[in-house]
């Protein structure tokens, strides 16, 4: 199946293009980006030009940051093409609800991807937790924004989500593996004085679960979650890629490769079945953190 990629930047080049090149299902047939290109692939600067020029391209995958994404997503659906969205699926929840209704009305597939749910150990953790009572949980998601998002000022602009850009990956795993729904009960959010989006956040969730997100971690990076249950302890490390039960490593792989091939495999199956997969539960937790959270102003931040 032919697919177009929109927003040829960091994640498109790091993950989407290699995943598509290796895919048995997809052929990258066009790109849309003001500056970015992929060698040998027809390139367009505007979505409308690409959609008009390529009626044979049935699916479009968006790798734009969240704020400029909605109008492009709408254009894809109005043109009757299937749509795959990078996380988070919109700048607001309302955008995602509108896209979901539009995809249904147009009879096309919509997939709101959460790449961290495809990490190696997530399915195993979900299966192990299925019969457990969760007594407490602790998420620590601390990374260096200068290393992972060099110069990406959009991340600290309104709608860029700040530290929730990686934090929502943790929440996407949490909402996937827990056997019960989870909701936010309190939050403390730290905004640099010169920025519109937070650099750190501490969340309190149901089931006695806490989350600590921080964009200022230099040295070793931490993407861990640990749960105490009536049947013992479970830990997911390396962003959901390693699984430990009662302190012993029992599964997963020490690598993040595999998440994006799994997303494109899932999208192929959705298109074949004319089905959609839309889940906003990680975004609800972030929106609720902004609604309920206590705000603190911290030191200015420059890249």
Q: Which residue is nearest to ligand NAP (CB)?
A: 9
Using the rule CB under 6 A, give the single segment among 31-39, 191-199, 271-279, 289-297 that binds ligand NAP.
31-39
Pairing state between β 242-245 and 232-237:
antiparallel
Tell me which of 11, 102, 123, 186 binds ligand NAP, using CB under 6 A: 11
Q: Which is nearer to ligand NAP, 115 or 195 (CB)?
A: 115
Binder of ligand NAP out of 74, 92, 106, 152 (CB under 6 A): 152
What is the secondary structure of 79-126 as a DSSP string?
Answer: TT-EEEEPSSS-SSHHHHHHHHHHHHHHT--EEE--GGGGSTTHHHHH
Active-site residues: which are they?
A: 87
CA distance 100 to 108: 10
Yes or no: say if 111 and 84 are a contact pair by the CB < 8 Å rule.
yes
Q: How far is the CB of 232 from ligand NAP (least distance, A)?
A: 32
Of the pair 10, 54, the CB lying nearest ligand NAP is at 10
Residue 64 Cα to chain centre, angstroms: 12
Nearer to ligand NAP, 109 or 113 (CB): 113
Q: Does 251 bind ligand NAP (CB under 6 A)?
A: no
10 binds ligand NAP (CB under 6 A): yes
Size of the site for ligand NAP (CB under 6 A): 22
Kindly write out the interface string for residues 164-193 of this chain, putting x where it contacts ligand NAP by CB under 6 A and - elsewhere: -x----------------------------
> Between 17 and 121, whose beta carbon lies closer to ligand NAP?
17
Using an 8 Å Cβ cutoff, are 257 and 14 in contact?
Answer: no
Using CB under 6 A, which of 42, 126, 148, 301 touches ligand NAP? 148
Contact status, residue 42 vs residue 5, Cβ threshold 8 Å: no
Distance CA 76, CA 86 (A): 14
Among 191, 214, 197, CA closest to 297:
191
What part of residues 32-91 is at the interface with ligand NAP (CB under 6 A)?
A: 33-36, 63-66, 68, 86-87
Buried b (16+ CB within 10 A) or exposed e, 242-272: bbbbeeeeebbeeebeebbbbbbbbbbebbe
Return the number of other C-beta atoms located less than 10 Å from residue 212's C-beta: 17
Distance from C-alpha of 263 to C-alpha of 18, rounded to nearest angstrom: 12
Closer Cβ to ligand NAP, 134 or 263, answer by number: 263
- Which region, judged by CB under 6 A, interacts with ligand NAP, from 1-9, 76-84, 219-227, 236-244? 1-9
Cα gap 275→104, rounded to integer Å: 9
Pick 169 or 229: Cβ nearer ligand NAP:
169
Smallest separation (angstroms) from ligand NAP to the CB of 258: 14
Nearest distance, CB of residue 32 and ligand NAP, angstroms: 8
Residues of this chain that interact with ligand NAP (CB under 6 A) are 7-12, 33-36, 63-66, 68, 86-87, 115, 148, 152, 154, 165
């Amino acid at each position: 199946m032919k697919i177009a990629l929109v927003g040829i930047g960091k994640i498109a080049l790091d993950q989407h293009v290699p995943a598509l090149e290796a895919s048995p299902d997809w052929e990258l047939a066009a790109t849309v980006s003001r500056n970015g290109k992929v060698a040998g692939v027809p390139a367009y600067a505007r979505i409308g030009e690409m959609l008009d020029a390529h009626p044979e391209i049935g699916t479009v995958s968006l790798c734009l940051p969240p704020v400029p994404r909605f109008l492009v997503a709408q254009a894809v659906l109005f043109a009757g093409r299937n749509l795959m969205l990078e996380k988070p699926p919109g700048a607001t929840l309302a955008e995602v609800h509108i896209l979901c209704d539009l995809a249904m009305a147009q009879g096309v597939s919509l997939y709101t991807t959460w790449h961290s749910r495809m990490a190696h150990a997530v399915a195993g953790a979900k299966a192990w937790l299925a019969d457990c009572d969760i007594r407490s949980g602790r998420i620590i998601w601390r990374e260096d924004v200068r290393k992972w998002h060099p110069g990406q000022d959009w991340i600290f602009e309104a709608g860029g989500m700040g530290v929730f850009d990686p934090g929502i990956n943790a929440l996407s795993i949490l909402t996937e593996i827990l056997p019960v729904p989870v909701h936010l009960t309190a939050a403390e959010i730290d905004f640099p004085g010169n920025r519109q989006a937070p650099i750190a956040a501490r969340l309190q969730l149901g089931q006695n679960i806490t989350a600590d997100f921080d964009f200022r971690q230099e040295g070793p990076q931490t993407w861990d979650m640990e749960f105490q249950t009536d049947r013992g302890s479970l830990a997911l490390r390396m962003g959901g890629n390693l699984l430990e039960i009662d302190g012993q490593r029992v599964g997963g792989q020490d690598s993040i490769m595999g998440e994006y091939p799994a997303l494109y495999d899932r999208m192929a199956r959705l298109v074949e079945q004319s089905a959609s997969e839309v889940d906003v539960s990680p975004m609800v937790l972030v929106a609720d953190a902004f609604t309920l959270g206590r705000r603190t102003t911290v030191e200015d931040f420059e890249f």
